[in-house]
Structure 1
Amino acid sequence: MNVTERPPRGGPRRVTVVLDAVTKVYGRGEGQVRALDQVSLGLPEGSFTAVMGPSGSGKSTLMHCAAGLDAPTSGQVTLVGRPLAGLSEDALTELRRDQVAFVFQSYNLVPTLTVTQNVALPMILSGRAPDLRRVEQAIARVGLAERAAHHPGQLSGGQQQRVALARAIATGAAVLFADEPTGALDTVTAAHILGLLRAAARDTGQTIMMTTHDPVAASYADQAVFLVDGRIADRIEHPTAEAVAGRLTRLAPPRLAVR
């Protein structure tokens, strides 16, 4: 069953991402797949939410609908106060450009650009003059000030992911979507990236939604939301790795091994 939202602690905050009875269906007839089924979820400003569940549970579809990358079959998505239904593709692109940042497992850096240029790239692509002070601050925040003139090929995987995170922070976006951001990293580097995400939510007020299979990664979040067969099956506030692992084991279908 779906889990209803509770007011955040510490007084009211703007709810930056709202999904209201969102359903997403792919295909028709016997090949139809219901990736999301009546999902309702609200993410307050400055919150950090981990979305978890077995493979095929709907995690990526939930993120894509929340970010305006995919349109729900039914239900409503509101992003930073704007309902997405009915917006043109140009309006959606503008909204994502101004209010949304992404961090993926694959880093998505341009190999011919320096760290500084990669971090400034979203500003340039949006037609704005890069705010170099903000770019430098974001690079320093992730501990790469001394590597600002380097190219991605001169950096480790963890350093490249920190560049991707600096790029997301520098945009000043209200919402940061992170899709398995530590999946390709070693344990120490992953912990550093997760700490930076935690700090971004706390210090800059960014609302963060992260998909992950890792209970340790989820323990950095304010809440862990569990999807099973496209529905919100459970939620843990202030999750610990042990509590998340136990919940995943209980929720996973017997035929599937939790990764």
Structure 2
Amino acid sequence: MNAPVQLSEVQKVYGSGPGAVTALGGVSYSFAQGTFTAVMGPSGSGKSTLLHCAAGLDEPSSGEVHLAGTPLRGLDETALTELRREHVAFVFQAFNLMPALTVRQNIILPQTLAGRTPDEAWVTEVIKRVGLSERTRHRPSELSGGQQQRVAIARALAGSAAITFADEPTGALDTQTALEVLTLLRDQARASGQTIVMVTHDPVAASYADNVVFLVDGHIVSESPVPTAESVAAELAKLSRLARRGAAAAAAGESTPGVLT
């Protein structure tokens, strides 16, 4: 299969000298086309740093990232912005909605900025699937936090981007809406060939993915290709215990590099 997102020996270090903090310790991984992958790990494992480097939002200290077939090293911010606008959608914990625009206008904004004509039928379907059909003329200030998150998710899916990066996309949603959104993400990967990379702490959310990648201390340590909520929770608990032991060893004076999320 093609791999629209590829990381090769990606290392990210913040600072220098004795105070340097290693967020990623040489990660190599390919996210295949048409797959929905969840990235999990204990607090401080490097999940968000991996996502940011993969999306070209943060530059690795070393290693290579290819996004939509394009190597990111050496691209200036304008080129990176154009690449992301053409191929990538985002769902982050900050909703980044335009306050003066309606729900529908916010959802189609990336396509408008890119000079593309939205697929109105698909936009309407996405709005329906995230439960916003009665809110299309409302502005963000008239919505709850959960409703604003639904707008952000609909915006990411409406343009049918080749790649979607999502950081805790269901964290602000009620259980039923969260499950509907996760089903929509899974369906998009399978039916439309989108590549979806989701950072989450929720084993139930991760169970909707095709594969779960686990990080500890900036390294991929295991995968779960047939995830269930129970198996994911058990693996995460095991890795959290290992991470605590490593932190205790570091506090006792052993040499262990720091790690950030």
Instruction: Indicate whether the TM-score tops 0.5.
Output: yes
* Higher mean C-alpha displacement, 37-46 vs 162-171: 162-171
Q: 8 Å contact 2:4–2:69 — kept in the other structure?
A: yes
Matched, 1:207 2:181: no
Shift of 1:129: 5.2
Q: Structure 1 residue 133: deviation in Å?
A: 4.7
Q: Does 1:110 align with 2:94?
A: no
Q: Which amino acid aligns with 2:165?
A: F
Equivalent residue number for residue 152 of structure 2: 164
Q: Distance in 2 between matches of 1:224 and 1:170?
A: 25
1:254 paired to 2:244: yes
Q: Residue 201 of structure 2 aligns to which amino acid in structure 1?
A: H
Contact 1:120–1:132 (8 Å) recurs in 2: no
Contact (CA 8 Å) 1:53, 1:248: kept in 2 or not? yes
1:213-252 correspondence runs (5 A): 213-252=201-240
Corresponding pairs, count: 244
Deviations 1:3-22 (A, max 9, x none): xxxxxxxxxx2111111111
1:140 aligns with 2:128: yes
Letter in 2 for 1:111: P
Q: 1:64 to 1:116 in 2, by over 3 A?
A: same
Deviation at 1:121?
1.2
Q: CA RMSD in A?
A: 1.8
Q: Structure 1 48/97 Cα, relative in aligned 2: closer, same or farther at 3 Å?
A: same
2:153–2:169 CA contact under 8 A, matched in 1 = no
Structure 1 stretches of 5 or more lacking a match? 1-12
The offset of 1:142, in angstroms, is 3.0
Structure 2 alignment gaps of length 5 or more? 248-261
DSSP 3-state at the match of 2:171: coil
2:175 is matched by which residue type in structure 1? T
Deviations 1:161-197 (A, max 9, x none): 2221111112221110000112223323322221221
Tell me how far apart the structure 2 counterparts of residues 138 and 193 of structure 1 sit (CA, whole Å): 10
- Say which of 77, 94, 105 aligns to 2:82: 94
1:198 Cα offset (Å): 1.4
Preserved contact between residue 23 and residue 49 of structure 2 (Cα < 8 Å): yes
* 1:131/1:222 CA distance change after superposition, 3 Å: closer
Q: Aligned equivalents of 1:230 and 1:215: distance in 2?
A: 20
Kept in 2: contact 1:102–1:178 (CA 8 A): yes
Residue 216 of structure 1 and its aligned partner are, at CA, apart by 0.9
Cα deviation, residue 98, structure 1 = 0.7
TM-aligned CA deviation for residue 241 of structure 1:
0.9
Aligned partners of 2:128 and 2:173: how far apart in 1?
A: 21
Distance 1:99 1:137, change over 3 A: same
Q: Does the 8 A contact of 1:158 with 1:189 survive in 2?
A: no
Does the 8 Å contact 1:53/1:226 carry over to 2? yes
Q: By how many angstroms is 1:32 displaced? A: 0.4
Q: Give the TM-score normalised by the residue count of structure 2.
A: 0.87
Q: For each residue in 1:80-122, what CA deviation from the matched residue of structure 2 results, as whole angstroms up to 9, or x when unmatched? A: 1111112222111100111110011232222321111101111
Question: Hey, what does 2:20 align to over in structure 1?
Answer: 32
> Which of 193-202 and 45-54 deviates more?
193-202
2:180 aligned partner, one-letter code: H
1:181 to 164, 169, 178: 169
Cα pair distance change 1:116/1:222, threshold 3 Å: same
Per the normalisation by structure 1, the TM-score is 0.87
- SS of 2:244 mapped into structure 1: coil
Confirm whether residue 84 of structure 1 aligns to residue 97 of structure 2: no
Q: 1:141 and 1:188, CA in 2 relative to 1: closer, same or farther beyond 3 A?
A: closer
Question: Could you tell me the percent identity over the aligned residues?
Answer: 63
